[in-house]
């Protein structure tokens, strides 16, 4: 029995919801109800079938999670071993309700959120808060509202989809005998799937009708998803529903036996620039910043670190990023890549730090962090007290802080001296030429502004990203304690894991060329606009031009031209020449 009541911010202001996945929370189920709007995200990870309700006779789609009742092969140690969790699993103790009201004398009804107070996931001690301090909805509750809205529309869509399948006789029952490698036999019965022979026999008019309604694509996704049944069988045999080496109980990257990055000791702020001259690979500087006052505060306690930051805080609201525990701390996209798996809002630093410290007691931490923020604006006295000795290159100094967050592999154009102030941190480092093996995402739309690898380093799907194995052959790992630093040459890909409850990183970015020459990314985007869609023979011609003028050019490339006539080919380019070229490009782009 449930004890469902209308949720409100007075009676339930202190309620929290545990978002861990565990048998005691009812997650040891061998299938989950789902909706056609989820098919695209689900079909690459779960087999999709249908079941008929004995009482009502209605059909509904489901994602198969195991091979027998009570078995969920995606459930492990409070985590869900797949990048997409079905809506009905994520929903937890919440239900859609109706509330009647009168507006201008007219009786109306609206959807509202109910909560089952008897659910074991409802708590006052741990989990995601439902309401903010002054009564507003928490980011987690906002995400619940979005899920309930999606389920409401999903139910309507599912009913129309099932009616279309039945109208065309496309549902057929089946029994599947599954024999594991061990010889154990399982029989799956009571399920329905798409009758492929019947589908092939439909007229063009019927197929066009299904296509117009948006159902034909869903049908093909159901059919394609059934290849995932093999993954469930493999999991029973080898312990992994995805080909990631069978290390689901431990992040894959911890078991990959990567080579350590080079390291050096005895480097201090007064000799760091000479030590880094000519270095073109990542280099760990052990103990480099251990004497920083900020590091000394961090070694006292997380609270002392927070107080130190607050003492240096300008009072300007910071950007706070908030994601649920379902993210596993991974900063990434949402399920259909239409947005991100976290929300950003302006907040006071003290509030964000209190929230981060409070999550230390959570069994599975919600994501909380402040993205890189310039010290001159938000922490004006921090740089002077924690001097990294880089005045000769005029770096841009920024602070990043958060809990157990992991940032997808990405690269930055400038060089970076990253001083690890608080918490342990692990970098997985890959050279720039590995880009094709890292499967980068969209250029113009990424969680931190810079394109990221779509591979989950904790649970890589080698069937989807097979070349990632080749990237790992070139990967390095750098593990930093508080007081260590990492020199990261520009353009090196780096996946970053924050391993403690409070982590603070002090980054210093600088470039090796004059700022007036602009950002190379702009040149890449312009090339995509102007060159990418040319015929192959023209692209080859332009590749030769780029090699001659840019990638293979040296200071003597224009020696055959009179000095007075070299113009923008003169090396190095002067400020005047650069400004003239920038003006020309701006004018050309307006045409």
Give DSSP secondary structure letters for 514-581. -GGG--HHHHHHHHHHHTTTS-HHHHHHHHHHHIIIIIT--TTTTTTS-GGG-GGGSSSPPHHHHHHH
CB neighbour list of residue 568: distance below 8 Å, 6 or more residues apart: 577, 580, 581
Query: Are the CB atoms for 261 and 390 separated by under 8 Å?
Result: no
Residue 43 has pLDDT above 90, yes or no: no
Query: How confident is the model at residue 55, as a pLDDT?
Result: 86
Query: How confident is the model at residue 556, as a pLDDT?
Result: 67
Residue 83 has pLDDT above 70, yes or no: no
Query: Beta-carbon neighbour count of residue 345 at 10 Å?
Result: 11
pLDDT (tens digit, 9 = 90+) per residue, 519-536? 898 889 999 999 999 999
Dist CA 468 CA 473 (whole Å): 9
Token representation of residue 179? 């024999």
pLDDT band at 180 (very low <50, low <70, confident <90, very high): low
Question: Quick one: 556 exposed, middle or buried, by C-beta within 10 A (0-12, 13-18, 19+)?
Answer: exposed
Task: Check whether the bond before 302 is cis (ω within 30° of 0).
Answer: no
- Between the CA of residue 591 and those of 254, 520, 530, 583, 584, what are the distances in Å? 52, 22, 13, 13, 11
pLDDT band at 518 (very low <50, low <70, confident <90, very high): confident
pLDDT (tens digit, 9 = 90+) per residue, 461-490? 988 998 998 899 899 999 999 999 999 999
Q: Please give the helix or strand (H or E) that residue 42 lies within, else none.
A: helix 39-42
DSSP-assigned letters across all residues of 250-290: S-GGGGS-PEEPEEE-S--TTTHHHHHTT--S-EEETTTTT
Residue 456 has pLDDT above 70, yes or no: yes
pLDDT band at 284 (very low <50, low <70, confident <90, very high): very high
Q: Among 193-197, 325-329, 361-365, 574-578, which is the least confidently predicted range?
A: 361-365
The pLDDT of 558-576, averaged and rounded, is 85
Q: Among 126-135, 200-209, 299-308, which is the least confidently predicted range?
A: 126-135
* Sheet arrangement for strand 415-422: 262-264, 283-285, 485-488, 415-422, 503-510, 396-402, 367-374, 318-323, 343-347
pLDDT (tens digit, 9 = 90+) per residue, 223-277? 989 888 877 887 776 544 444 433 444 688 887 778 899 999 889 999 999 999 9
Work out the percent of the chain whose per-residue pLDDT is above 90.
Answer: 54
Q: Name residue, tokens 């009570």.
A: 70
Dist CA 167 CA 191 (whole Å): 19
Token representation of residue 506? 């002090």
Residue 82 has pLDDT above 90, yes or no: no
Query: Are the CB atoms for 390 and 273 separated by under 8 Å?
Result: yes
pLDDT (tens digit, 9 = 90+) per residue, 94-149? 988 767 766 667 766 677 899 999 999 999 988 888 988 777 888 888 888 888 88
Residue 493 has pLDDT above 70, yes or no: yes
Q: Please give the helix or strand (H or E) that residue 102 lies within, else none.
A: strand 94-103
**HEC sequence for 316-362:** CCEEEEEECHHHCCEECECCCCCCECCEEEEECHHHHHHHHHHHHHC
Query: How confident is the model at residue 248, as a pLDDT?
Result: 40
Query: Are the CB atoms for 101 and 93 separated by under 8 Å?
Result: no
Dist CA 149 CA 497 (whole Å): 33
pLDDT band at 400 (very low <50, low <70, confident <90, very high): very high
Token representation of residue 486? 């990492």
Token representation of residue 490? 């520009």
Strands (E) in 34-93, as ranges, are 48-52, 59-64, 75-76, 79-80
pLDDT band at 575 (very low <50, low <70, confident <90, very high): confident
Query: How confident is the model at residue 183, as a pLDDT?
Result: 64
pLDDT band at 587 (very low <50, low <70, confident <90, very high): confident
Distance of CA 483 to the CA centre of its chain: 28
First to last CA, the chain: 68
DSSP-assigned letters across all residues of 417-473: EEEEEES-EEEEEE-GGGHHHH-B--SS--TTSS-BB---TTS--TTT-TTHHHHHT
pLDDT band at 580 (very low <50, low <70, confident <90, very high): confident
CB neighbour list of residue 518: distance below 8 Å, 6 or more residues apart: 578, 582
Q: Which residue has the higher pLDDT, 78 or 127?
A: 127
CB neighbour list of residue 63: distance below 8 Å, 6 or more residues apart: 31, 32, 34, 42, 46, 47, 48, 86
Q: Which of 486, 293, 308, 272 is nearest to 401 (CA)?
A: 308
Query: How confident is the model at residue 20, as a pLDDT?
Result: 81
Q: Which domains does the chain have, with CATH numbers?
A: 4-238 (no CATH), 253-512 (2.60.120.10), 517-589 (no CATH)
| Long-range pairs, 68-75, Cβ under 8 A, ≥24 | 68/30, 68/186, 69/30, 70/28, 70/29, 70/30, 71/28, 71/30, 72/27, 72/28, 72/29, 72/30, 73/232, 73/235, 73/236, 73/241, 74/241, 75/21, 75/22, 75/23, 75/27, 75/28
Dist CA 477 CA 281 (whole Å): 12
Query: Are the CB atoms for 517 and 578 separated by under 8 Å?
Result: yes
Query: Are the CB atoms for 294 and 397 separated by under 8 Å?
Result: no
Q: Which residue has the higher pLDDT, 51 or 180?
A: 51
User: What phi and psi, each to the nearest 5 degrees, are found at residue 25?
Assistant: -100, 10
| Number of residues that make up the chain | 591
Query: How confident is the model at residue 241, as a pLDDT?
Result: 44
Q: Name residue, tokens 């250029």.
A: 443
């Amino acid at each position: 029995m449930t004890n469902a009541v209308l949720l409100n911010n007075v009676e339930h202001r202190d309620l929290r919801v545990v978002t861990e996945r565990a048998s005691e929370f009812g997650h040891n189920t061998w299938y989950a109800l789902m909706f056609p709007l989820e098919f695209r995200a689900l079909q690459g990870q779960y087999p999709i079938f249908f079941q008929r309700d004995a009482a009502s006779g209605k059909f509904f789609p489901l994602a198969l999670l195991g091979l027998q009742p009570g078995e969920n092969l995606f459930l492990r140690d409070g985590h869900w071993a797949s990048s997409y969790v079905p809506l009905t699993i994520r929903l937890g103790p919440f239900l859609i309700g109706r509330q009647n009201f009168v507006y201008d004398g007219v009786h109306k009804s609206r959807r509202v959120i109910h909560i089952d107070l008897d659910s074991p996931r409802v708590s006052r001690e741990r989990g995601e808060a439902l309401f903010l301090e002054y009564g507003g909805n928490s980011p987690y509750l906002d995400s619940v509202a979005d899920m309930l809205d999606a389920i409401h529309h999903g139910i309507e869509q599912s009913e129309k989809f099932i009616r279309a399948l039945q109208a065309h006789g496309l549902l057929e029952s089946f029994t599947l005998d599954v024999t594991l490698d061990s010889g154990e036999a399982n029989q799956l019965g009571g399920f329905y799937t798409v009758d492929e022979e019947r589908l092939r026999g439909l007229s063009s008019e019927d197929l066009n009708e299904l296509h117009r309604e948006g159902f034909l694509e869903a049908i093909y996704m159901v059919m394609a998803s059934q290849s995932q049944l093999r993954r469930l069988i493999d999991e029973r045999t080898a312990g992994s529903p995805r080909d990631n080496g069978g290390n689901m109980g431990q992040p894959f990257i911890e078991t990959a036996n990567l080579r350590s990055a080079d390291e050096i000791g005895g480097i201090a702020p007064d000799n760091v620039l000479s030590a880094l001259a000519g270095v073109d690979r990542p280099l760990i500087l052990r103990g480099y910043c251990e004497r920083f006052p900020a590091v000394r505060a961090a070694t006292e306690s997380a609270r002392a670190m927070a107080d130190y930051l607050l003492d240096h805080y300008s009072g300007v609201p910071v950007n706070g990023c908030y994601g649920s525990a379902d993210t596993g701390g991974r900063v990434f996209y949402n399920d259909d890549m239409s947005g991100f798996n976290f929300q950003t809002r302006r907040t006071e630093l003290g509030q964000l730090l209190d929230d981060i410290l409070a999550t230390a007691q959570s069994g599975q931490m919600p994501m909380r962090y402040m993205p890189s923020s310039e010290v001159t604006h938000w922490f004006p006295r921090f740089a002077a007290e924690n001097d990294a000795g880089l005045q000769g290159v005029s770096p841009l100094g920024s602070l990043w802080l958060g809990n157990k967050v992991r940032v997808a592999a990405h690269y930055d154009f400038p060089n970076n001296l990253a001083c690890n102030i608080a918490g342990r941190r692990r970098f997985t480092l890959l050279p720039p030429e590995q880009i094709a093996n890292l499967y980068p995402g969209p250029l113009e739309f990424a969680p931190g502004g810079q394109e990221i690898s779509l591979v989950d380093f904790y649970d890589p799907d080698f069937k989807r990203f097979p070349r990632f194995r080749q990237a790992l052959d070139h990967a390095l790992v750098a593990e930093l304690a508080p007081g260590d630093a990492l020199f990261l040459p520009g353009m090196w890909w780096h996946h970053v894991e924050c391993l403690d409850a409070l982590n603070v990183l002090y980054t210093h970015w600088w470039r090796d060329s004059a700022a007036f020459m602009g950002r190379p990314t702009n040149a890449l985007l312009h090339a995509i606009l102007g060159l990418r869609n040319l015929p192959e023979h023209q692209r080859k011609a332009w590749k030769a031009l780029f090699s001659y003028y840019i990638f293979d050019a040296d200071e003597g490339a224009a020696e055959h031209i009179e000095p007075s006539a070299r113009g923008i080919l003169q090396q190095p380019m002067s400020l005047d020449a650069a400004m003239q070229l920038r003006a020309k490009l701006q004018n050309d782009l307006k045409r």
